Amino acid sequence: MQNLSAKMLKKLEKTVFFANFTHNIFMLTIVVRAIIIYLVVLFLYRLMGKRQLGEMQPFELVLTLIIADLATIPMAEVSMPVLHGIIPLLTLVVLHYILTMLSKLSSNFSCFLSGKPVIVINPDGIDYKALKNLDITVDDVFEALRGCGYFKVEQVQYAVMETNGKMSVLSKSEYAPLTTGDMNIKTEKSVIPISIITEGKVNKENLKVAHMDEEKLANLLKKSGIQKVKDVLVMTIDKNGSVFFQKFGQKYQTLQVEPLGQVTE
Per CB under 8 A, the list member of 31, 42, 90, 192 interacting with other proteins is 90
Burial of residue 74 (CB within 10 Å: 0-12, 13-18, 19+) is buried
Per CB under 8 A, the list member of 37, 75, 93, 159 interacting with other proteins is 93
CB of 93 to other proteins, least distance (A): 6
Nearest by Cα to 63 from 35, 99, 38: 99
Binding mask 45-84 for other proteins (x = CB under 8 A): --x-------------------------------xxx-xx
Q: For other proteins, which is the closer residue by CB, 10 or 84?
A: 84
CB of 133 to other proteins, least distance (A): 33
Q: Could you give the angle at the alpha carbon of 29 between the alpha carbons of 28 and 34, nearest 5°? A: 95
**C-alpha torsion sign, points 168, 171, 175, 177:** positive
Taking CB under 8 A as the rule, does residue 17 contact other proteins? no
Total residues in contact with other proteins, by rule CB under 8 A: 12
| Cβ count within 10 A of residue 41 | 19
Q: For other proteins, which is the closer residue by CB, 87 or 192?
A: 87
Taking CB under 8 A as the rule, does residue 87 contact other proteins? yes
What's the CA gap between 217 and 207, in Å, rounded?
Answer: 8
Interaxial angle between packed helices 26-48 and 58-76, expressed in degrees from 0 to 180 and rounded to the nearest 10: 160
Nearest by Cα to 180 from 190, 192, 171: 190
Q: Which CA distances in Å does 264 have to 173, 216, 220, 238?
A: 37, 17, 20, 11
CB of 61 to other proteins, least distance (A): 20
Q: For other proteins, which is the closer residue by CB, 65 or 94?
A: 94
- Do 148 and 121 contact (CB within 8 A), yes or no? no
Locate all alpha helices (DSSP H) within 121-190, ordered by sequence: 128-134, 138-147
What's the CA gap between 163 and 155, in Å, rounded?
Answer: 23
Of the ranges 88-96, 113-121, 128-136, 168-176, which one interacts with other proteins (CB under 8 A)?
A: 88-96
Binding mask 96-125 for other proteins (x = CB under 8 A): -x----------------------------
CB of 265 to other proteins, least distance (A): 17
Q: For other proteins, which is the closer residue by CB, 30 or 126?
A: 30
CB of 29 to other proteins, least distance (A): 12
CB of 47 to other proteins, least distance (A): 6
- Do 161 and 136 contact (CB within 8 A), yes or no? yes
Residue ranges binding other proteins (CB under 8 A)? 47, 79-81, 83-84, 87, 90-91, 93-94, 97
